[in-house]
Amino acid sequence: MSKRSVELQELKAKNRQGLYLEVQTTKRQIEKLRLDLAFGRAKQTSQLKQLKVRLARAKTLIGQLANQEQNHG
């Protein structure tokens, strides 16, 4: 493998790791907000909606990344 190829693989791995971390963090935030809502500690659901959008976006990016890796080896 060329040096550039290795650097590209490392960058892809970092991107993938960052996306997975984003998904996990967002899932935890959603769960915490759900509990807050359930126990009446939070009055607004707009934050929950925003987190769900972030989660969906991150999952979409992970899917796209996986497809790119399959298509390009």
Answer left, alpha or beta for residue 40, where phi above 0 means left and psi between -120 and 50 means alpha. left
Distance (Å, rounded) from C-alpha 42 to C-alpha 49?
Answer: 13
Looking at the 3D structure of the chain, how many domains does it have? Answer: 1
Mean pLDDT of 54-71: 82
For 43-57, the pLDDT digits (tens) are: 667 777 888 888 888
CB 50 within 8 A of CB 15: no
> Is pLDDT at 38 greater than 70 in this prediction?
yes
Q: For the whole model, what pTM was predicted? A: 0.57
Domain range for 29 is 3-72
